Structure 1
């Protein structure tokens, strides 16, 4: 087996040399030979294939694969992000998010302003204390599991935490995720996002998928009705929900609420399991972050934005080496030149964040997790760093996700030691190519040991 892989690598190196002799004003494209060799190395793992091709076509800065143009050269990527139109519309044709502002560039300015005001950084930062309250309740639940010597499912806890925070922070509603009151909603979202789009266990026309979308639609309608009916005119949170409703009507408000619920939970449920897997793999690192959390916990409870430089460095590095949003889609409505390459009109472009963040040509030890890379340098070494996307497809919930994850690390490490157990899976990824999200392929199970108060 090892010999076969070495032979494949040798052949690909020869093909790479030949490709480098091609005129650089053209876009290189994989053919039958390269595709066959890639399958021999990576099987059906498309993410690994695309990452490999970034090195294979390094001198070009881009390549064509399955009719899409993948861009990983930093200058080309920045040009595409800043000058081209977002290209999400056709990706979301069979998604429940197709009618949200994410899936259409034709939504009204009033709708966009209402949504932007909900997710504004200052608005999110003011609600950090609410997140800490939810995290304390999550710790109580983990304590119950730990006391019975059962494995702690960090993925499920993260998902339920994220749903509660979306409810409390954005809607001022108690969705009861950690209390087990929204199991049907969570199951519907995971059926759609994970089973269908990430794992491909079911299709978008299957009975399970259609039932899940029906449940999601019905439950989202109820949540929006509750938000509107309990609106407190003295509360900015309630006023913002009403503002969204006034801007676009009930049906579009409901569709955008689906985006809040699904995207607001998916990022956290994908990122926290990766972080806690790494903390169990590197116990010394966990101890170092615990020391920072312990030292600053009193200040953090007074001011949730109190600096945590080591924890923040680890977060940045996790999102560099494992960017949860692996690409940004773009389209050109007219002729465009990237570098020396002339693109045809309506090209399907992918700014490949995963390849940019893991490039050995721009990052030292690019695929290694170096926890304090950003703590030591205090900067990104001028390399393109776009973990939440950029431009018109930048993640609308980036401030919510960042504060939530940051507080979760600190509060959980202050309360527990986390350790790997026999059931802890290896860290492998699947990709939701429709919604541009990377997931661990299995729920992350660990042991939580309560720390002395």
Structure 2
């Protein structure tokens, strides 16, 4: 299809850019503070001691770049959308952010003191998980209720439905960040925005930290309100995207 051909050209350009970056780093060596590329270049298989080839390095770097930007952006878009419709939640999160930050940008060291902002992010991830479904290939026979699962079967996990299941959540369709005040009271497998098990999102901790840092910085500086007539519909296109975008008015706080 024409779109696939265009995407292939774009992918070739991204691969070439990564190949050039890897070659430059091999030539110059690591910096004073190791970054992601340095860590990947220095990685060794614990059993065989094998290093990654340049092709493997390239694909890992592209995975981090491609998978790591849209999902966090979607989380922030949905979080701001939800805050725009609940000014009480937004004001509470803003007060916390301003008390910690003033008007400076947040950093990683601020995250432990931004507990309520984190609760807003987690509630946004529950209501609008960027990865709205997961799939796994069964390795062994199993049974799920009356269904027999055979090796090789694909099992689909509807994360969006799981996060709004009425037997798992009180008032599941409501935006209530306070439900995350007692994180230990929420079962591990009823909240899967990053998946779980051996294939859990490799950037889960970083993504959550990044979202808290950016959201706190924005809320400390701006007040967000919804634009009438621009309510987005969640559409599943691999990720859960707001159809038409999230339209908000931002005014200085």
TM over 0.5: yes
Q: How many residues align?
A: 244
- Quick check: 2:111–2:212 contact (8 Å CA) kept in 1? no
3-state SS of 1:429 partner: strand
Match of 1:384 among 190, 195, 200: 190
Distance 2:241 2:215 in 1: 19
**CA offset digits 1:79-113 (Å, max 9, x no partner):** xxxxxxxxxxxxxxxxxxxxxxxxxxxxxxxxxxx
Classify 1:204/1:227 alpha carbon distance in 2 versus 1 (closer, same or farther; 3 Å). Answer: farther
Q: Which has the larger radius of gyration?
A: 1
Alignment match, 2:75: 271
Q: Tell me: CA distance 1:272–1:333, structure 2 relative to 1, closer, same or farther (3 Å).
A: same
Tell me by how many angstroms 1:446 deviates: 2.3
1:95-137 Cα distance to aligned partner (Å, 9 max, x none): xxxxxxxxxxxxxxxxxxxxxxxxxxxxxxxxxxxxxxxxxxx
Residue in structure 1 matched with residue 15 of structure 2 by the alignment: 217
Contact 2:235 2:242 in 1 (8 A): yes
Deviations 1:209-248 (A, max 9, x none): 2222222222232333344444335432253142259821
Describe the SS at the equivalent of 1:350.
Answer: strand
Q: Report the Cα offset of residue 440 of structure 1.
A: 1.7
> How far apart, CA to CA, are the structure 2 residues paired with 1:394 and 1:311?
23
Q: Is the 8 A contact 1:328 1:393 kept in 2?
A: no
Distance 1:255 1:311, change over 3 A: same
Work out whether 1:231 is the aligned partner of 2:36. no
* Structure 2 equivalent of residue 425 of structure 1: 230
Q: 1:248 aligns with which of 48, 52, 71?
A: 52
- Correspondence 1:132-151 to 2 at 5 A: none
- What is the TM-score normalised by the length of structure 2? 0.84
Could you tell me the TM-score, scaled by structure 1's length?
0.49
CA distance in 2, matches of 1:370, 1:254: 41
**CA displacement, residues 229-278 of structure 1 (integer Å, 9 cap, x when unaligned):** 44335432253142259821111111111101101112112111111111
Shift of 1:349: 0.6
Deviations for 1:2-26, whole angstroms, at most 9, x for unmatched residues?
xxxxxxxxxxxxxxxxxxxxxxxxx
Task: Tell me if the contact between 2:108 and 2:213 (Cα under 8 Å) persists in the aligned partners.
Answer: no
Q: Distance in 2 between matches of 1:224 and 1:319?
A: 34
CA–CA distance in 2 between the matches of 1:222 and 1:360? 51
How far off is 1:205 after superposition?
Answer: 6.2
- Answering whether residue 210 of structure 2 is matched by residue 404 of structure 1, we say yes
For residue 317 of structure 1, report the CA deviation from its aligned partner: 1.2
Distance in structure 1 (CA, Å) of the matches to 2:136 and 2:4: 29
User: Match of 1:361, SS?
Assistant: coil
Q: Using the alignment, how far apart are the partners of 2:149 and 2:3 within structure 1?
A: 34
* 1:281 paired to 2:85: yes
* Aligned residue among 62, 65, 77 for 1:261: 65
**Structure 1 pair 355/243, CA: closer, same or farther in 2 (3 Å)?**
same
SS of 1:438's equivalent in the other structure is strand
| Match in the other structure for 2:139 | 333
Tell me: CA distance 1:209–1:440, structure 2 relative to 1, closer, same or farther (3 Å). same
Change (3 A) 1:431 1:303: same
Cα deviations by residue, 1:314-348 (Å, 9 ceiling, x for unpaired) = 11111112122222211223322234432233211
Question: Given that residues 418 and 449 in structure 1 are in contact (C-alpha distance below 8 angstroms), is that contact kept between their aligned partners in structure 2?
Answer: yes
C-alpha root-mean-square deviation of aligned residues, in Å?
A: 2.6
Aligned residue in 1 for 2:111: 305
Q: Which residue does the alignment assign to 2:249?
A: 447
Shift of 1:204: 7.8
Whether 2:165 is the aligned partner of 1:359: answer yes
User: Alpha carbons of 1:354 and 1:250: their partners in 2 closer, same or farther (altered >3 Å)?
Assistant: same
- The answer to whether the Cα contact below 8 Å between 1:416 and 1:450 also exists between their aligned partners in 2 is yes
